[in-house]
Chain A
Amino acid sequence: MDLFEYQGKQYFARFDIPVSRGGAATTVDEAVKVADASGYPVVVKAQVQVGGRGKAGGIKLANNAEEARLHANNILGMDIKGHVVKCVWVENASDIDEEYYASFTLDRAAKKHLLMLSAQGGVEIEEVAEKDPDAIIKLHIDPVDGLSPAAALKAAVDAKIPAKAVDGVAKILVQLYRCFTEGDCDLAEINPLILKPTGEVHALDAKVTLDDNAAFRHPEWDEYRATEELDAREQLARTHGLQYIGLDGTVGIIANGAGLAMSTLDVVNQVGGTAANFLDIGGGANADVMAAALEVINFDEKVTSIFINIFGGITRGEEVAKGIVEALSRVTLKAPIVIRLDGTNAEEGRKILADAGIPESTLISKPTMLEAARAAVAISNGK
């Protein structure tokens, strides 16, 4: 789950990473109140999960309450690359002497944590990475050992952070690493990490991606869930606990396993169709899950055929079949189903479907993935 900047800063604060004095606001009046409390000048920043918000006019400096009101009024409701601004973050404006870059991620190839640090931070960091890769140092950290203060200090020196800032940067690196590990982040990034004329180092931005698998040990994440940007189909899928991503096509997809679901999209595409969604019902899906999946697909107005592609391992064929039969008794599907069922207990599953007396206008069974894809696409395209 990606956090908004203001949530990221609040998350950073839990780990004692210094951020600017400020607060989030969803109305103009609230924004002015936060601005008054933060101390002028303030920066009013649009909270959207898309890059380039500064260039789009989503970040403005205000020297007094009047300007804060004007900017908040302009920015709230603004459309930035399809993202409507529902919230602004207002914070005391910092004087900036220098801008650095720091992030922690998992390097999947090395199977170690990766620190990236650069003395050349700011909006052009990706350009720096391309044109002057040596300006970004990369340090692998063994997750068993963690990052020691001494190693953090050496990294800051190696990255050519100026002497006056190395101690401050090293301290923040240790705190950010704690946030990354104990806070179960996939990504913890500060860009820019700034040096103020007063000599203090602090996080001017926050980019945090949380590892959804760790949600069970972070009850405090519940509040972030509430603000996630999902479309109506995705909201419904979320309430059923399904892995769903909405797309623009007409063939509704239900598959078990992310790989098979992706492969199903590929095959539908190869035979001339377009997928309405990605939906992975996961391993061990039972009748309830299948019924919920069909409900979500049925909710999508654009769907004109449904392709259920199941290869059972943990998922058992008879459970899938029972789910379909049950779903058909609960909801009237707007589009016919084409199913391909194989693997664990597939024969039992096929028998349950055959014995249920479902008309062929509602459900067609095909023996292979390709044949099923062709049938689903033919129906969807009205052939």
Chain B
Amino acid sequence: MAQTTYPAEAPASATPSAQTKRRLPLARALDESRFFPTILLGPILVFFIVWNVVPLLWLLGVSFYRYKVTAARPPQFVGFQNFLDIWKSTEIWGLLGRTLSFMVLTVGGATILGMVLGFLFWGSGRMPGRRLALTLLFTPMVLPPVAVGTFFRLIYDPIFGIANFFTEKLIGQRFDFLGSKDLAFGATIAVDVWMWTPFMILMTLAALGSVPKAELEAAEIDRLPWLKRIRYIILPNGKFILMLGILLRTIDSFKTTDLPYLMTNGGPGNKTEFVGLSLYRTGFEAFQMGDASSLAIITLLIAIAFASIYLYVLSYRETRAQLQ
């Protein structure tokens, strides 16, 4: 098809034809080769296969084995037993429930705060020092989680932590934020929201930037109320970028490991023990590679499920229209 249409299209413009004549024969051969796209994609495909597909298949394979690195016995094929053990384990269900709660609250909190602040910054284009304020606001996002975890452990310290300095001044009471069964979960969520709200501000600003100016000006002329502008103009145009931000945050939040590890080590008890931390312990403290792999596969499937749900929601109207 391409071969039959190409000669017909070529004379349409004299300039490209002249350029083609000046090209080197090898470049022209490559350009015209039907393998050209494959050649371009080749390196990244090789990289993807070596670093993603092979390890994933390996992970899948190990998940069917009882394999403990520090045991003298060789890996033993157990079929789906590791997955059945997870299914029957009350600890794992508790772990998943806790992780999902953490994910909903952190992503929800960061999204709401990020959108509010994003709208404020969007509408304050002439504010003096706006760029500096934005740079400072984005700082938590670029800090390494190891530093954030360590600093907040000190900030929350019941004796010398600055958080308790303020609570004592304000309500005359000190709290053991990270050691209390009632506060540790919330204290960890607060840090995650603090850290990732800037990301959602960034995504909101990007989403707002993608809204056509003509539509906004029309809304301005029509004196459309703000809420209606958001619903009918901003969200339909910016939803893809916003949903992408939420999707990335959801996946990231679901596998959170570093913050709870540094701040509470999963404690008190198991109050901040999430899937990521449990995976780390199973794989790299207990060296139970079979159990860790099966839990990792389940985590991966959950992440894929989230991504699918978001993509479905994004294209819901189009899908429904096509069905009708």
Q: Do A and B assemble together?
A: no
Q: Which residues of A contact B (CB under 8 A)?
A: none
